[in-house]
Amino acid sequence: MSANGDLDTLRLTAWDVHELLRSGEVSGPEVFTAYRTAIDARNDELNAYLTVADDPGGDGIPIALKDVISTAGIRTTAGSRVLGNYVPVFDATVAARCKEHGLRTLGKTNTDEFAMGSSTENSAFGPSRNPWDTTRVPGGSGGGSAAAVAAGLAPWALGSDTGGSIKLPSAFCGNVGLRPTYGTVSRYGIVAFASSLDQVGPVTKTVRDCAFLYSVISGRDENDSTTVDVPPVEIPEADHLGGLRIGVPRQLNEVDGIEPGVKSAVDAAIATAERLGASVDTCELPLSVDYGLPCYYLIAPAEASSNLARYDGVRYGLRTPGDTFVEMLMATRHDGFGDEVKRRIMLGTYALSAGYYDAYYGTAQKVRTVIKHEHDALFERFDLLVSPTCATTAFSLGDRAADPLAMYLTDVLTIPPNMAGLPSISIPCGLSDGLPVGLQLIGQQFAENTIFRAGHALEQAIGFDYVPERLR
């Protein structure tokens, strides 16, 4: 609470809101109104939300949802003109579970079109901006969710992560972002990009909030056959790391282009882990780093080209008239899809075409298995692996927009564990030239509780102030 009794949404964590509501110090409508007031004041500058929802009533914690998550009665665009006026008649499973726990939807957050991008500059509705420096990107594809949480426009949010779309924005905006083990969170009702990689996860201010929200959304869902039962989620309390074995893969920590300020902050965080009782040793991940990015950019576009074939101007979404079905189809996709989506559809269609399937998509899937095995071998020696989340801090708007390869390389450190289906989290570990630096913690399958324990202990020891400096 601020001195005048108003809620200071910049400082409130979801856990804080939970405690305020539980004690009766504030009511659900008061909390919702406080966040709506903050959205009205700052969203024009940040473009974090594409749609702001009406107050659904109730007494739960407000939440923002990335605009690839279907919400009954609330526009869901996936950042694309082709779905610019689409209003679902059903909730995604994660949205339904949030409702079941009393969480109140504030609105839908901006995203690169169909979650394809690393900066949120590919949104058909304009880029989001980083609350730490509005001349810089918030990361992508889920930059809207990260910007909303960092700027106090939501206490927490949901994002989706295919190649790094939760972790990267969280690193750039000073948030905590979890990409869970593949299969622990339902994809039912999520606008599909690459089905074997897409995963929904929390974007929060603290690791405790992250564990709290993960407990809400995770678990088996009869509507998604890839989901599994998950171990009970433990809300982290530990302030030490005694007995934890941490590996530092050389290739992830010495990647080309790593900024000195990023390396310094990450090295300091690793030293803190040792001080807290963890054993730390270097290790190798040569194939995962060398082949993870090219492997991803064969598999993900191939699956995208299949998934996006449903946007035909017939069943839902945009329709541009034409004299024949083929003319209508071509005109609709020309008008509805942006340049990056078209680029990935063409790459994916080529990789799946007759005569090339085995050479490209098939081979990439075999390499993906090698990447998984390489990570598994390290987890025989270590409980967690650590690295920077990104080699740089947030870059300026427009810096990489004209260079797709440079943009793709932004995700070079987040992609390897994603390809292996492993859980990983980004936590802020310091500043470089006034911008947040993200530390990536990677665990073995279903080791979210280990990640939460380590992340919480490090978070407490590092003492990062998650409120952007210019807003303090």
Contact 215, 202 (CB under 8 A): no
Q: Rounded CA gap, 316 and 383, in Å? A: 46
165 is catalytic: yes
- At 211, list the tokens: 């564990």
Q: Rounded CA gap, 266 and 440, in Å? A: 9
* Maximum Cα interatomic distance, the chain, rounded to a whole number of Å: 70
Q: Rounded CA gap, 82 and 224, in Å? A: 25
Q: What are phi and psi of 101, to 5 degrees?
A: -95, 10
Q: Rounded CA gap, 127 and 133, in Å? A: 14
Contact 241, 454 (CB under 8 A): yes
Q: Rounded CA gap, 267 and 72, in Å? A: 45
Q: Rounded CA gap, 318 and 335, in Å? A: 9
Integer-rounded Cα Rg, in Å, for the chain is: 21
66 is catalytic: yes
Cβ count near 469 (within 10 Å): 14
Catalytic residue among 66, 99, 108, 167: 66
167 is catalytic: no
**What kind and span of H or E run contains 365?**
helix 363-378
Look at residues 77, 88, 304, 105 and name the one whose alpha carbon lies nearest to residue 188: 88
Q: What are phi and psi of 118, to 5 degrees?
A: -125, 15
Catalytic residue among 70, 119, 123, 141: 141
Q: Rounded CA gap, 414 and 373, in Å? A: 17
Q: Rounded CA gap, 350 and 301, in Å? A: 9
Q: For 211-229, give the DSSP string.
A: HHHHHHHBS-BTTBTT---
Catalytic residue among 123, 145, 165, 426: 165
Contact 78, 317 (CB under 8 A): no
Task: Give the per-residue SS3 of 257-322.
Answer: CCCHHHHHHHHHHHHHHHHCCCEEEEECCHHHHHHHHHHHHHHHHHHHHHHHHHCCCCCCCCCCCC
- At 192, list the tokens: 């599909």
Query: How many residues are there in the chain?
Result: 472
Active site residues: 66, 141, 165
